[in-house]
Amino acid sequence: MEFRHNDPNLMKNGHSKIAHNDTYAKTVKKCFQLDSSYNAWRPGVKEQIEKQTLNSSEVMDISRNLGIAKGTVISERKKKRRRK
């Protein structure tokens, strides 16, 4: 089940230990975090890594542009090579 920020079934439920907003879903009776704390987990970042790799950008440039670790860029490139 996917939730959006403007869903009427969601309520604010305080803050987590790292100061992210916790959200409570009334329908499933669970508390969770809507926003990811690490940029590499956000939707579309893996595709952006691939796109910038095809434009022959370097690892440091990609990691700086996307705000992720260079190790993440390197591992994603390796995964892409293995899939081919």
CA 31 to chain centroid: 19
Same domain, 73 and 58: yes
Domain that holds residue 50: 39-83
State the pLDDT confidence band at 61, using cuts at 50, 70 and 90.
Answer: very high
- Specify whether 28 is located in the same domain as 59: no
**Are both 70 and 43 inside the same structural domain?**
yes
- Classify each residue of 18-54 as buried b or exposed e, where b means 16 or more C-beta atoms within 10 Å of its C-beta: eeeeebebeeeeeeeeeeeeeebeeeebeeebeebbe
* 31 and 48 both lie in a single domain: no
Q: Are residues 44 and 78 in the same domain?
A: yes
Report the predicted TM-score, pTM, of the whole model to 2 decimal places: 0.59
Angle 19-67-49 (CA atoms, 0-180°, nearest 5)? Answer: 130
Same domain? 5 vs 25: yes
pLDDT value, residue 8 = 73
- 43 and 18 co-located in one domain: no
Which stretches within 1-84 are classed as H helix?
45-54, 59-66, 70-83
Number of domains in the chain: 2
